[in-house]
């Protein structure tokens, strides 16, 4: 059964990809989508068998390769952690496939698109079922390749190509550190088997190694190198710059990347190797601080974005920060719980945003929306459920709320319960980020579905399909003039609700956004049930979870108060007194520009890395390649041949008397050479 779940998406991807247009759109979509729904159904069966039974095993597939002491077999590892990831990946992917039937209905390359989606899913399934680090790295690189193909799916757009290359290059930086970590693990443990590494980690605590000329802690170094890979794949601060640009891909791609696949790979890897990280407290502290910094950074930037997809993209980056600082304080169960709930409400938000974009003729700027709740009511309610989930709406002391209320609050409470300096800082940052999350999430709802219609009565204008405004046009202060949209009849443009095949996934994901937290709370992070559920697949700390359940009342109320504060600020500035926003921006213009330009990370990297690299490249090109190699190599030799040919051309004049003169000169020269020798010999 497990092999069917993993390899069926690969089979359908090959069928759709190789068959391509010969199969036709309908057959390609049916094969790939049907295969994913079968995998999803079997994944749920496996989840209940493993999570609530006693099933855990490694299923061999084949001998892979052997090189010296490195012996790698291809095997599928099944335990609770794998089972959770299986249902997350396959369920969201199946719904994204179905949603794409409507969203990509007019695209001429549908077989290629659906083949890439299934390939992406297969790579992620290979990653989460890996039994060793080499196999995990195979899936790790597979999702990187698939993301490159999907982000740049509309290859005729220069911006899409640039975004795909950026994602690929930035992830190569992280993957270089990850590969060094794998090399180091093999050097130390003599194996890449995950079980052997986790079981042997505690015996190496406190040992040191010489690294880059310095004496450093062995396990800390290995964990930090592995974490560099997680930073790239999960877009943590410093290696996050690819994530917002990934919005250049189709909206279903954004949902798949951000909700269930690529960006969760780093969190999964840290949880999978949690016994190794537990043996390196210093590395855990770094993970905590990086996660907290990412949560804060992305939340601040999300408050000023006007592209609806970019708001949700920075939200993903921030929520990943929550997951990492939960893992950093040792609350791996809470990290995985938030990964689980986040998959549902984040996929819902992205697909809901896609429904809005579909309704607005592929317009992505929220400044051109407004008053859409009556035009697209089903999409409106789906986005509302997603917003209620991500902002953590609920009643703290009663324990009733939407999905994010359970999982995000559990992370914040765990950070406080950890009792360390890093934990307290992460707690404070998490509460403030919750306020910002509430603000930008409700800002998105108010700009999109409330207020005046900033699209009604516009004249017809031709739009480039799937285009969106440039970064230079960002910012919502002062109010931006309405962008003309295509008219229908004489009454102006009217948004329309999405087709059924786009609305059904929204309905299913809405159920997840409402009930996933309630149903999973005691299973994932229960004081007693949590340990029984995970059964050693992660380093579950029952003591930390118990302390988290019994933190002071003010700690439990903090995320709730932050959520209400963010909601109130958004309501005041976008519903009650929208004219006051311009004054705030003019007063704090420096701060606004700082956030609008994403803390100037792109500009910093441009001048620190791109400019020197381009200068060095031009230097080697002009001075090295052309000025030295070509000058004295092929160009120099060819120039010598040209000059010699020019001289020879004058000799070959075609006149008989010229040839006779040359012959006489030659005879005279020969006589002058040989005659003295002949006379001297006599």
| Domain termination residue (choose one: 596, 619, 637) | 596
- Over residues 64-90, the pLDDT tens digits come to 888 888 888 889 999 999 999 999 999
The phi-psi region of residue 68 (left if phi > 0; otherwise alpha if psi is between -120 and 50; otherwise beta) is left
pTM of the entire predicted model? 0.87
Alpha-carbon distance of 461 to 466, in angstroms, equals 15
pLDDT at 410 over 50: yes
Name the pairing type of β-strands 214-217 and 57-67.
unpaired
Q: Which residue shows structure tokens 């959770």?
A: 84
- CA separation (Å) from 513 to 94, 372, 654? 17, 22, 92
Residue 368: partners with Cβ closer than 8 Å, 6 or more residues away: 360, 454, 455, 480, 482, 483, 485
- Cα separation, 358 vs 374, whole angstroms: 16
For residues 624 and 512, membership in a common domain is answered with: no
- Stated as kind and residue range, the H or E segment containing 215 is strand 214-217
pLDDT average, residue stretch 100-118: 90
Place 567 in a pLDDT band, splitting at 50, 70 and 90.
Answer: very high
More confident residue, 480 or 121: 121
Q: Between 332-359 and 251-259, two packed helices, what is the crossing angle to 10 degrees?
A: 170
- 37 lies in the same domain as 74: yes
Q: Give pLDDT, residue 129.
A: 94
Closest C-alpha to 41, from 8, 79, 15, 14 = 8
pLDDT at 461 over 80: no
How high is the pLDDT of residue 681? 58
In whole angstroms, give the CA distance from residue 274 to residue 307. 37
Q: Which of 558, 576, 596 is the C-terminal boundary of a domain?
A: 596
Round to whole Å and give the CA distance between 648 and 332: 82
Cα–Cα distance list, 232 to 250, 267, 326 (Å): 22, 11, 18
Place of tokens 């269930």: 260
pLDDT for position 480: 40
Spatial contact of 32 and 118, defined as CB atoms under 8 Å apart: yes
Query: Taking 80 as the threshold, does the pLDDT of residue 598 lie above it?
Result: yes
Choose the final residue of a domain: 561, 596, 631. 596
Read off the pLDDT of residues 304-350 as tens digits, 9 standing for 90 and up. Answer: 998 999 999 999 999 999 999 999 999 999 999 999 999 999 999 99
Q: What is the pLDDT of residues 176-215, one digit of tens each?
A: 999 999 999 999 998 999 999 999 998 888 888 887 788 8
Q: Same domain for 590 and 670?
A: no
> Do both 40 and 159 map to the same domain?
yes
The CA-atom distances, in angstroms, between 228 and each of 131, 179, 238 are: 21, 10, 10
What residues contact residue 97 under an 8 Å CB cut-off, 6+ apart? Answer: 29, 32, 33, 36, 37, 114, 117, 118
* Cα torsion angle, 66, 67, 68, 72, sign: negative
| Domain housing 634 | 598-649
Joined together, the tokens standing for residue 138 give 């195979």
pLDDT-derived band at 680 (thresholds 50, 70, 90) equals: low
Q: pLDDT tens digit string along 417-444?
A: 999 999 999 999 999 999 999 999 999 9
How remote is the C-alpha of 340 from its chain's centroid?
16
Please tell me the distance from the alpha carbon of residue 17 to that of residue 116, in angstroms, as a whole number.
8
pLDDT at 682: 56
Length of the chain: 682
How far is the C-alpha of 305 from the C-alpha of 412, rounded, in Å? Answer: 26
Distance from chain centroid for Cα 78: 25
Q: What ranges in 190-280 are assigned the alpha helix state H?
A: 194-200, 218-233, 242-245, 251-259, 265-272, 274-278
User: Looking at the structure, do residues 640 and 500 belong to the same domain, yes or no?
Assistant: no
- Are residue 628 and residue 658 in the same domain, yes or no? no
Q: Are residues 568 and 620 in the same domain?
A: no
What's the pLDDT at 463? 40
Give how many domains the chain has, as a whole number: 3
Contact 97, 113 (CB under 8 A): no
- pLDDT above 50 for 645: yes
Shared domain for 416 and 325, answered yes or no, is: yes
Same domain, 577 and 602: no
Asked if 379 and 271 sit in the same domain, the reply is yes
pLDDT value at 578 more than 60: yes
Helices 251-259 and 133-151: angle between axes, nearest 10 degrees: 160
Same domain, 177 and 120: yes
Strand 208-211, strand 214-217: pairing: antiparallel
233 with 112, same domain: the answer is: yes
Task: Identify the CA nearest to 335 among candidates 234, 248, 244.
Answer: 234
Instruction: Give the number of other CB atoms < 10 A from CB of residue 203.
Output: 9
Average pLDDT across the chain, whole number: 87
Within a 10 A sphere around the Cβ of 394, how many other Cβ atoms? 22
């Amino acid at each position: 059964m497990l092999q069917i779940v993993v390899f069926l998406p690969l089979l359908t991807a090959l069928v759709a990809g190789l068959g391509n247009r010969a199969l036709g759109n309908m057959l390609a979509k049916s094969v790939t989508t049907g295969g994913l729904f079968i995998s999803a159904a079997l994944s749920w069966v496996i989840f209940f068998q493993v999570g609530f039974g006693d099933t855990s095993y490694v299923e061999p597939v084949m001998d892979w390769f052997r090189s010296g002491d490195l012996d790698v077999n291809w095997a599928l590892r099944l335990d609770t952690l794998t089972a959770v990831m299986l249902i997350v990946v396959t369920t969201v992917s199946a719904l994204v496939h179905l949603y794409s039937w409507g969203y990509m209905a007019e695209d001429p390359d549908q077989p290629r698109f659906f083949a890439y989606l299934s390939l992406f899913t297969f790579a992620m399934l290979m990653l989460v079922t890996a039994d060793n680090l080499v196999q995990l790295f195979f899936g790790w690189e597979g999702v990187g390749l698939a993301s490159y193909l999907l982000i740049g799916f509309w290859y005729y757009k220069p911006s899409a190509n640039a975004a795909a290359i950026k994602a690929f290059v930035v992830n190569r930086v992280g993957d270089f550190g990850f590969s060094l970590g794998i090399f180091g693990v093999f050097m130390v443990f003599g194996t890449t088997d995950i079980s052997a590494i986790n079981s042997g980690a505690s015996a190496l605590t406190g040992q040191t190694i010489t690294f880059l000329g310095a004496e450093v802690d062995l396990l800390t170094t290995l964990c930090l190198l592995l974490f560099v890979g997680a930073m790239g794949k999960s877009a943590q601060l410093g290696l996050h710059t690819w994530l917002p640009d990934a919005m250049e891909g189709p909206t279903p791609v954004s949902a798949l990347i951000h909700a269930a696949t690529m960006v969760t790979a780093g969190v999964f890897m840290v949880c999978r190797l949690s016994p190794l990280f537990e043996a390196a407290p210093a590395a855990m502290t770094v993970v905590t601080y990086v996660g907290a910094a990412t949560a804060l950074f992305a939340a601040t930037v999300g408050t000023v974005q006007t592209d609806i997809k970019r708001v949700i993209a920075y939200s993903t980056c921030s929520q990943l920060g929550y997951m990492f600082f939960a893992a950093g304080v040792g609350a791996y169960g809470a990290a995985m719980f938030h990964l689980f709930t986040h998959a549902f409400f984040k996929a819902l938000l992205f697909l809901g945003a896609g429904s809005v974009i579909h309704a607005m003729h592929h317009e992505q700027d929220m400044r051109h929306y407004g008053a859409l709740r009556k035009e697209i009511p089903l999409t409106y309610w789906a986005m509302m459920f997603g917003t209620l989930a991500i902002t953590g709406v609920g009643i703290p002391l009663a324990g009733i709320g939407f999905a994010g209320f359970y999982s995000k609050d559990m992370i914040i409470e765990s950070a406080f319960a950890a009792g360390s300096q890093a934990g307290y800082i992460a707690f404070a940052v998490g509460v403030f980020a919750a306020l910002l999350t509430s603000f930008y999430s409700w800002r998105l709802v108010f700009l999109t579905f409330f207020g005046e219609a900033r699209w009604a009565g516009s004249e017809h204008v031709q739009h480039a399909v799937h285009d969106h405004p440039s970064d230079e046009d960002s910012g919502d202060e002062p109010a931006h003039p309405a962008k003309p949209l295509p008219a229908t009849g004489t009454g102006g443009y009217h948004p329309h609700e999405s087709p059924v095949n786009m609305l059904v996934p929204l309905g299913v994901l809405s159920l997840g956004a409402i009930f996933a937290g309630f149903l999973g709370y005691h299973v994932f992070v229960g004081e007693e049930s949590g340990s029984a559920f995970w059964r050693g697949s992660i380093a579950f700390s029952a003591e930390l979870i118990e302390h988290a359940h019994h933190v002071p009342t003010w700690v439990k109320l903090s995320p709730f108060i932050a959520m209400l504060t963010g909601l109130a600020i958004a309501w005041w500035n976008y519903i009650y007194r929208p004219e006051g926003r311009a004054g705030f921006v003019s007063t704090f213009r420096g701060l606004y520009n700082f956030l609008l330009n994403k803390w100037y990370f792109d500009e910093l990297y441009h001048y620190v890395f791109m400019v020197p690299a381009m200068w060095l490249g031009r230097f080697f090109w002009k001075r090295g390649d052309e000025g030295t190699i070509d000058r004295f190599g092929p160009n120099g030799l060819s120039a010598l041949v040209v000059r010699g040919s020019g001289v020879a051309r004058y000799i070959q004049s075609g006149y008989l008397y010229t040839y006779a003169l040359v012959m006489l000169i030659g005879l005279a020269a020969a006589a002058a050479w040989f005659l003295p020798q002949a006379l001297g010999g006599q």
